[in-house]
Amino acid sequence: MAALAIAGKDLRTEWRTRESLNASVSFALVILVLFSFAFDLDREERLAISGGLLWLVYAFAGALIVNRSFARELPNDCLEVLISSVRGWALFLGKTMACFVLLLIVELISLPIFGLFYNIHWIGSIFSLLLVMALSTWGITVVGAALSAVTVNVHLRELMLPVLLYPLMIPLLIGAMEMTTGLLNGNAVLSDVRLLIVYDVMFTSIAMYLIEFILVI
């Protein structure tokens, strides 16, 4: 319940200010446009890199969202108040759930725009895509929120988070990219779902155990 309350608080705050959401959606759009200039591709080539391109955009947008997760509690010592009010794991889980919802919204907005810009049909495999997006997004946000807590008091936080986050996300991104490319090419490949589940379960457990050490020093 405490986790849901924290998630609700974060989502309400975000809905009122729309700081992360606006920035992430705009950023995703800019990246999609930049990629179209960077690569002059025909349809076959576009399909071949579609999953990779899409998940790079999501990973960049994800880093923006998780970066704010714990940092938004710094003014007025709100983080101290939260730590003394709820258990560390509940706080972490709530923050992760809020980031998950926000990143999923960004992904669901970017996907049709991506299909439109790059002339790629995605509606046919939407349910499989949603499964891949949900599992991968949870992985990104769980590791991202944990590292957001690690770097919250670090000098140069905005620089440090991506340096730590992207190498850790690589196995997850490999699975997500491969499956998304397969699905957008019309192949029902969900072979890597197990990889995503292993990643999600492992990092959720480790992060929930370690978060007490991170928050209560």
Partner 1 sequence: MRDKTVYTLGILGTLLLLYNFFQIFLVIPIDALQGNIFRIIFIHVPAAFTAFCFYGVAVVGSIAFLMTKNFKWDSMAVSAVEVGTMFTLVNLATGSIWGRVEWGIWWAWDARMTSQLMCFLLYLGYLIMRPAIAEPQQRGVMSAVLAIFAAADIPIVFMAIRLHNVRTQHPGPVLETGTLAPVYLPPFFGDWVAFMLLASAMMLVRLHQESSSREIDSLRRELHAI
Q: What letter does residue 86 receive in the DSSP assignment?
A: S
Among 39, 38, 46, 24, CA closest to 116: 46
User: Within 4-43, which residues bind partner 1 (CB under 8 A)?
Assistant: none
Q: Judge whether 7 and 95 are in contact, CB under 8 Å.
A: yes
Query: Which of 64, 150, 183, 208: binder of partner 1 (CB under 8 A)?
Result: 150
125 binds partner 1 (CB under 8 A): no
- Give the residue among 71, 63, 72, 143 at the shortest CA–CA distance from 106: 63
What is the closest distance, in whole angstroms, from the C-beta atom of residue 124 to partner 1 in the complex? Answer: 24
Q: Is 154 among the residues that bind partner 1 (CB under 8 A)?
A: yes
Position 178 contacts partner 1 (CB under 8 A): yes
Q: Which is nearer to partner 1, 14 or 178 (CB)?
A: 178
Least distance to partner 1, CB of residue 153, Å: 7
Sign, CA torsion 16/17/20/23: positive
- What's the rounded Cα separation, in Å, for the pair 160 and 147? 9
Element (H, E) at 185: none
If one asks whether residue 153 binds partner 1 (CB under 8 A), the answer comes out as yes
* Contact with partner 1 (CB under 8 A) among 37, 76, 84, 155: 155
Least distance CB 169 / partner 1 (angstroms): 9
User: Is 175 among the residues that bind partner 1 (CB under 8 A)?
Assistant: yes
Residue 29 near residue 113, CB atoms below 8 Å: yes
Which span sits near partner 1 by CB under 8 A: 8-16, 101-109, 119-127, 154-162? Answer: 154-162
Task: Please tell me the distance from the alpha carbon of residue 196 to that of residue 192, in angstroms, as a whole number.
Answer: 6
Query: One symbol per residue from 198 to 217: x for binding partner 1 (CB under 8 A), - otherwise; what is it?
Result: xx--xx--x---x--xx--x
CA nearest to 183, candidates 129, 127, 110, 135 = 129
Within a 10 A sphere around the Cβ of 212, how many other Cβ atoms?
Answer: 14
If one asks whether residue 182 binds partner 1 (CB under 8 A), the answer comes out as: no
Q: Examine residue 146 and tell whether it contacts partner 1 (CB under 8 A).
A: yes
Nearest Cα to 130, choosing from 108, 114, 115, 102?
Answer: 108
Q: Which is nearer to partner 1, 7 or 143 (CB)?
A: 143
List residues binding partner 1 (CB under 8 A).
Answer: 143, 146-147, 150-151, 153-156, 160, 163-164, 167-168, 170-172, 174-175, 178, 192, 195, 198-199, 202-203, 206, 210, 213-214, 217
